[in-house]
Structure 1
Amino acid sequence: MRGMVVPADAMPDWMISPESTALCFAYLICQKRRRMPFNIDWQSIDDVLLDMDGTLLDLHYDATFWLKNLHSIVAGITGDSEIDIRDRFREELKKHEGTLVWYCTDYWAEFFGIDLIGAKKQLAHLIRFRPYAKQFLEALQPLPLRTLIATNAHPDVIQLKLDVVPLSEMVDGIVSSHQYGVAKEDPGFWTALFEDYSIDPYRAVFMDDSSKVLEAADRAGVREIIEIRHPNLSEPPRTTWRQGIDDFDLLLPRLQALGQL
């Protein structure tokens, strides 16, 4: 019954322990913060740096391909079981985690012996914006801010997605880590990016769904670090302790107000 209070002596011990009480309280605070107005001092920002997959675009497309379709495609060619292919893939991924190889479609095309981009095109209908991402980019356009996409995606994958969604028309530039030979997890990426685009990291905001990439950006001195908690729309939002948002709607009111000044 709504509003009913359960007596403490009717509750299991684990529900009233200090540890569980603290965890419940922290969870409730986190849930409340999900819908609180999210304030960034946009007048102290010059550059808005945005990840692509899982930040602007729904990660469901990539997850479906890499975790499901890829295995069945390779199995149909080689005759190997999907389980064996999955295990080989996981083992190889572990070797290259945090490196550019992890994201390199050329490498994986050779590893599996398939036309990887051609296979990814079969699922192009799943490529779509995350909620309010398009409106967020539109709200940035009239402001004196530079908007750059900073992604680990291979240039071929970027082009595949640009053929479906009008990202290139809505930002000032798209930077692939493949241009620098190191992934965003590597400090070298941020050094090269800041130099190439004359970015003052203390006047920049960066949004990504990867905690390791966000940590790298934080170490590089980026002023505002925001985690995207709902990268895959087919899965529930994640709970994290880092400053973050589920969707871009929390950022729109302030941006739209600035755009009317």
Structure 2
Amino acid sequence: MGTLSFLDTEFTDLATPELLSLGLVTLDGREHYVELDLSTEDGQARMRASSDFVRYGGVLDMWGLVPGAAATELEMGRRTAEWLLGLAFESGSRVEVAFDYSTDFELLEYAIRDSGLWDRVREVVTPVDVGAITGSSEGELAAEGCFRELANRGLRRHHALADAIALREAYVAVKALAMQMAHTTHTNTYRQLVQHTLFQGLDEAWLRTWLRVPAFGLNGRKPMDVLDEPGGLEALQDLVTRIATGTYS
């Protein structure tokens, strides 16, 4: 596996997207962010081409929050290419660029192509669509928590760097949950809970979903976190019974 980085971009509109800003963050927290210099002629033209949401809905009003980020589009592509090439050189491996919207990677590619460095970058970069993973409820919860933390930096949703960081947090949370689930399903307590669930007329697919979601009857804790605690199996069996019989509240 190569070095994993997470990508987000902001662009003019959905119909004819043109790059405005680009954020990348690695799994271990290294960050790269560039944004179009809106004071230039090209920047002004790109701003006029932006949708009302971009101009007035909370995208362009976050410009200037990251010192030194402003650049021409050519410079944005060059800086991004050099950052990715540097990651590949340091790690001695390919850089996996994770995104949840394909246009983000397309805009990254176009910007690097314009800088003349794409032939080098494509040899060390692998695009990875993680939308199916991070778009889960667990991923959304992790992203929301991340945005609350990012408010301390003055960043919020629809800032490319903030969205890239939130994408990373969603990925990490979902992967951690998957690893925990894989461990749980190999325990004796899980097998006993499956038997109890089937006896109550519910299936294992339902149980797997239920185990991952914070439960009201557990003060908002996930059943999976309770299962192997002392008395945890009995508590979950009781909850499953109450759900199956309609006495859960």
Note whether the superposition's TM-score is higher than 0.5: no
> Is the helix fraction higher in 1 or 2?
2
Q: TM-score, normalised by structure 2?
A: 0.33
Question: Whose relative contact order is higher, 1 or 2, with alpha carbons under 8 Å and at least 6 apart?
Answer: 1
Q: TM-score, normalised by structure 1?
A: 0.32
Structure showing the higher strand proportion among its residues:
2
Please tell me whether Structure 1 or Structure 2 has the larger radius of gyration of its CA atoms: 2
